[in-house]
Amino acid sequence: MTYMFAFVVGLVFVPFLLGLARTFGIYTCVNECEAQVFTLFGKVVGTIDIAGLHFPIAYFGPKALLIPFFGKKYVVSTALRQHYLRSQMVNSEEGTPMGVGIWYEMQVKDPVAFLFTNANPDGSLQANVTSSTISTLSNLEMEKMLEDRHSLSRTVRQTVSPLSEKWGYRLGSVYIRKVEFTDAQMVDNITDKVVKRLVQVTSAMKQDGENRVGLIRSETAFKVSQKLAEASAARPNIVGNKLNEIAKEDQEILNTLLEVMEIDALLESQASVDILPTSSNLLIQLGDSGRSSGGAPYLASPVGN
């Protein structure tokens, strides 16, 4: 029963005592990406920006005990923040109104300067980025404004950084994300020009491709014809040499080969062939063949020879 009573009392009074100690500034808890600035009698006593449990009396001495009564504790977020400014109006060198979108990130580096140097540091930084962007991009050539955004972004950052540091900020990346036309009629005209130009480029590429294909075909046909002509020119010499070699080895084989070649030539010509038996009259056979076919007869060797 005694332990239960002690547990209940501890459960109630320990949080109460911890809250009372925090109220009187005995200890404080600093979260991640956070800084705490302590003031006493309107003056800054110090800053704690390390995450964890801290005892202000260890940092500021006995006067830390007076802070809850005659001072104040400010909690400042030091997390990285991002902001995007849309449609900032600038005029190009040609007088064309353009809308610019600029993105930037910032982080509180000096909590004291952030709190007491500028009453509205966030709004002032936005205004500074806006004015720097407009002054950097105004009266630039449209081509440079559209194509050279990286160097322009670096220029804006270099312009804004010194003043932002005075206000306690550390300016991170600055990037001009978007440059757009604000005049609808101009957008339509540019779109038409781009479409026409794309059609011209597409047609030129297609024609160039067809010309290249035609040239390749012509060159290929020329090379093939040249090779065929060379082969045709070399064929009689090769065939003659082979026939001479065959004739030197065996004359009978040569004769047989010539007969085969003659028969092949005859078959390719599709001429009519008359085969005469040995016992028939040659003149009667020729007359009958000429009347029936009407073409030039070919006399084969008599059958049975």
- Whether 247 is covered by a domain: the verdict is no
> 3-state DSSP call for residue 69?
helix
d(CA 138, CA 131): 10
- Whether 265 is covered by a domain: the verdict is no
Q: Kindly state the tokens that stand for 207.
A: 């024609």
- Whether 198 is covered by a domain: the verdict is no
**Pick from 47, 55, 53: which is nearest to 75 by CA?**
47
- Whether 194 is covered by a domain: the verdict is no
d(CA 36, CA 64): 13
- Among 1-5, 35-39, 166-170, 226-230, which stretch is predicted with the lowest mean pLDDT? 1-5
What does the pLDDT average to over 211-234?
94
The gap between the terminal CA atoms of the chain, to the nearest Å, is 143
The number of helices, as runs of H, and strands, as runs of E, in the chain is 10, 8
What's the pLDDT tens digit per position in 236-245?
Answer: 899 888 888 8
Structural domains in the chain (count): 2
Print the domain residue range for 22: 10-77
- Amino acid 196: pLDDT: 93
Residue 301 confidence (pLDDT) above 60: no
Q: Are residues 66 and 88 in the same domain?
A: no
Greater model confidence, 39 or 257? 39
- Amino acid 15: pLDDT: 84
Is residue 142 a contact partner of residue 92, using CB atoms and an 8 Å limit? yes
Of the candidates 77, 97, 124, which is a domain's last residue? 77
- Whether 69 is covered by a domain: the verdict is yes
What does the pLDDT average to over 260-265?
86
Of the candidates 77, 107, 125, which is a domain's last residue? 77
Q: Are residues 116 and 132 in the same domain?
A: yes
Residue 299 confidence (pLDDT) above 70: no
Q: Are residues 48 and 140 in the same domain?
A: no
Query: Is the pTM higher than 0.75?
Result: no
Q: Containing H/E element for 98?
A: strand 97-108
Q: Are residues 149 and 65 in the same domain?
A: no
Q: Containing H/E element for 202?
A: helix 184-249
What's the pLDDT tens digit per position in 109-141?
Answer: 999 999 998 888 889 888 988 888 888 888 888
What does the pLDDT average to over 182-204?
86
- Amino acid 37: pLDDT: 93
- pLDDT band with cut points at 50, 70 and 90 for residue 303: very low
Q: Are residues 61 and 84 in the same domain?
A: no
What does the pLDDT average to over 195-219?
94
Q: Are residues 90 and 149 in the same domain?
A: yes
Is residue 272 a contact partner of residue 285, using CB atoms and an 8 Å limit? no
Calculate the average pLDDT of the chain: 84
Q: Are residues 107 and 176 in the same domain?
A: yes
Q: Containing H/E element for 39?
A: strand 34-40
Amino acid (1-letter code) at residue 92: S
Q: Kindly state the tokens that stand for 184.
A: 């609808």
Of the candidates 130, 153, 186, which is a domain's last residue? 186
Is residue 58 a contact partner of residue 87, using CB atoms and an 8 Å limit? no
Q: Which residues contact 71 (CB under 8 A, 6 or more apart)?
A: 38, 39, 40, 41, 45
Residue 155 confidence (pLDDT) above 60: yes
d(CA 119, CA 20): 32
d(CA 176, CA 151): 10
Q: Are residues 34 and 118 in the same domain?
A: no
- Whether 99 is covered by a domain: the verdict is yes
What does the pLDDT average to over 209-234?
94
d(CA 23, CA 64): 12
- Amino acid 304: pLDDT: 40
User: Is 227 exposed, middle or buried, given 0-12, 13-18 or 19+ CB atoms closer than 10 A?
Assistant: exposed
- Among 8-22, 60-74, 227-241, which stretch is predicted with the lowest mean pLDDT? 8-22
- Among 115-124, 205-214, 282-291, which stretch is predicted with the lowest mean pLDDT? 282-291
Amino acid (1-letter code) at residue 44: V
d(CA 208, CA 263): 53
Residue 257 confidence (pLDDT) above 50: yes
> 3-state DSSP call for residue 269?
helix
